[in-house]
């Protein structure tokens, strides 16, 4: 990939360095880029990253708020693990600029699409898990979500407040 210095910067920002750089490139390859090519894409790592993220955030919440009920913890997790939040984290890492996209996605602004950015963030977490194991992925999740885990803002709004 021609963006090697940017990939090094990404790994530094994430706090994890891949032992296999081809795996990182796969995490940044959207399915639209891989169509009709021998290249593999990030969908399976997105799937894996989603599961890792749910587990790691659940673990963080239970450790931080051991007296909360399952319902409260579920609401808190949902406020953290959703497409808008994950896309924001992906944008913070400039994942949009690093993604390999097909021409159609490129033309339609795919680098800024919430669904693509959130999927890329999940794929990155899935790749970290695949490359370095759960503990490596958990540390990255903690790094990116610890400041968001504040009782006064997580899942504490009623529907009317959220609508307003």
Evaluate the CA torsion angle 109, 101, 46, 143 in order and state its sign. Answer: negative
Catalytic residue, from 46, 50, 105, 131: name it: 50
The span from the CA of 162 to the CA of 43, in Å, is 31
Of 122, 135, 148, 151, the active-site residue reads 122
20 is catalytic: no
How far from the centroid of its chain's Cα atoms is residue 56's Cα? 12
Q: What is the DSSP letter of 66?
A: T
Q: What sections of 65-158 are H helices per DSSP?
A: 70-80, 83-92, 95-98, 103-107, 114-132, 134-145
Catalytic status, residue 122: yes
94 vs 148: CA distance, rounded Å: 19
Give me the active site residues, please: 50, 122
């Amino acid at each position: 990939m021609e963006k090697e210095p940017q990939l090094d910067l990404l790994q530094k920002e994430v706090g994890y360095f891949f032992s296999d750089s081809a795996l990182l490139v796969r995490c940044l390859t959207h399915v639209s880029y891989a169509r009709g090519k021998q290249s593999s894409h990030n969908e399976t790592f997105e799937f894996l990253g989603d599961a890792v993220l749910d587990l790691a955030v659940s673990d963080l919440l239970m450790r931080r708020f051991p007296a909360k009920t399952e319902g409260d913890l579920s609401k808190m997790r949902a406020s953290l693990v959703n497409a808008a939040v994950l896309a924001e984290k992906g944008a913070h890492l400039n994942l949009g600029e690093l993604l390999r996209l097909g021409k159609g996605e490129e033309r339609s602004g795919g680098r800024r699409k919430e669904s693509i950015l959130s999927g890329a963030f999940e794929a990155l977490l899935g790749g970290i898990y695949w490359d370095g194991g759960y503990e490596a992925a958990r540390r990255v999740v903690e790094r990116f979500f610890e400041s968001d885990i504040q009782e006064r803002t997580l899942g504490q709004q009623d529907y009317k407040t959220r609508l307003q």
